[in-house]
Chains A and B, each alone.
Chain A
Amino acid sequence: MSEKVLMKGNEALAEAAIMAGCKHYFGYPITPQTEVAAYMAKKMPKTEGGVFLQAESEIAAINMVIGVASTGKRVMTSSSSPGISLKSEGISYLAGCDLPALIINVQRGGPGLGGIQPSQSDYFQATKGGGHGDFHLLVLAPNSVQEMVDMVFKGFDLAEKYRMPAMILSDGTMGQMMEPVSLEKGVVNEYDKSWALTGTKGERKPNIVNSLYIAPEELEKLNFERYERYKKIEAEEALYEEYLMDDAEICIVAYGVASRVAKNAIDQARAEGIKVGMIRPITLWPFPKKVLSEAADKVNKFISVELSMGQMIEDIELAIRCKKEVLLCNRTGGMITTTEDVLNKIYEANGGKN
């Protein structure tokens, strides 16, 4: 293992992308993701073949991403909530063109210009599409700086494997915090890229990267095919972490920074003899439905801890088919749930203190 260094989550994302062979980055300044672009601006010119370009807009940046992605190379952009809304058009095109790319969202409070403090209120936007049309994004939600690095490799890999865009859903806290990180190179698999635009060289028929299908039968067929792929992803690629779930009677579901606050509360509640555990989704799409559904047969109650007005809770309720009650423990607008908030919700689920 390489020596651990202290790095901000945002910087770790950028460094990991370069390590994963991403040589093209396009972005636009917005708080609190600025360090990603700043790091890329510094490092890309020193990387062989590396390109950093500050685009004239979020929209231009995502379309530059489309340009590189269409040539079959690894490419990344990053932004924060309002910027992701602007990129949504391009994200839909990436999905419609079956192009792999990695998009980082370092979330801040919304709606509108919102605020600059951490939030998880882009959950719906990330997991339910975020642009027009029938499609999904792969959504990865790391909860440590080390996992940021790992998820960059995972994100690129899944994106290429399934030919679709992937998003790392981070937040201001995860982006700004420093933790020790080991910069290990993850797995970089080779996938067929015969679809890529590399010039015909007069040796093959032209490749066309396109999302327009005037005949509805044709478009429907492609959407069906894409959803077959999504089904496979849902069956095979859901990632999660279980914490003290073996004997748990209460199951907390939380991702990203909220899962770290929840962990503190769980430790305190356990010390008081309350049997509470956590299922932490690492992929938000695909959502770890199966493990939640199985947990529903064992635990009495669920608690969704999220920095949004009850967005993920809907996926939990769907996953467990509403078999058990799901309580909501949340803050929003840039406020962060405290350990005490979660602890109080655990008491509520437990019917009081033990």
Chain B
Amino acid sequence: MNKEILIAGFGGQGILFSGKFLAYEGLIDGKEVSWLPSYGPEMRGGTANCSIIISDNAIGSPIVSNPDILIAMNLPSLDKYENETKKGGQIFIDSSLIDRTVDRTDVETYYIPATKIASDEGLTGLANMIMIGHMIAKSGIVPEENIEKAMHKVVPPTKQNMFDLNMKAVKLGFEYKA
């Protein structure tokens, strides 16, 4: 197994955090993993993206340019990476923020109104985790039972409230039905 994932959106959407959570999922599952952020001025509101690779074997390049899985959290990211996604791959779209559909027919597509769900459920700012939850459900690249363990790795023990909210978001995403 070698899965390359690209999460892309605006700075401030928690792109890097959700990527780190996913990488820990892989690590706990005994896989080789890598996590690579775009960096620089993006931090302050521009586009941000994060490459994650989860693999059975030693990872070569940590840069994902043709993802197996794309999570697009804004329109520019979908415009930029839709055609880069591998044939037979999966594209996950935050349909609250992106008002177009995917043109390609050779990929699986999933539309989740993650930002709206987050806002309805008192989880503002956690659309990223809803997206990740849904991606885990649909891709099966990491086992569901590791979610809590991985969350403990990325949320410090002093922030139990944040832990609960993040877990809720992932669960909502995981169980979301279109």
Contacts and interface: CB of A to CB of B under 8 A. Distances in A.
A178 B61 contact: no
A179 B63 contact: no
B51 to A, nearest CB: 8
A177 to B, nearest CB: 4
Interface residues of A, number: 23
Given A6-B24, A257-B61, A260-B61, A172 B39 contact: yes
A263 B63 CA distance: 13
A250 to B, nearest CB: 17
A263 B60 contact: yes
Given A31-B40, A177-B34, A4 B27 contact: yes
Interface residues of B, number: 19
A178 B35 contact: yes
A339 B86 CA distance: 15
B62 A6 contact: no
Given A6-B24, A31-B39, A116-B40, A179 B61 contact: no
Nearest to B36: A177
Nearest to A32: B39
Nearest to B32: A180
Interface string B136-164: 00000000000000000100000000000
Contacts of B61: 257, 260-261, 263-264, 339
Contacts of A117: 40
Given A4-B27, A32-B39, A117-B40, A178 B34 contact: yes
B60 A178 contact: no
- Which of B23, B60, B153 has the most C-beta atoms of chain A within 10 angstroms of its own C-beta? B60
B133 interface: no
Contacts of A339: 60-61
Interface in A250-268: 257, 260-264, 267
B33 A179 contact: yes
17 contacts: A6-B35, A116-B39, A173-B36, A173-B62, A173-B63, A176-B36, A177-B36, A178-B34, A179-B34, A180-B27, A180-B33, A257-B61, A260-B59, A261-B61, A263-B60, A267-B60, A336-B63
Interface of A: 4, 6, 31-32, 116-117, 172-173, 176-180, 257, 260-264, 267, 336, 338-339
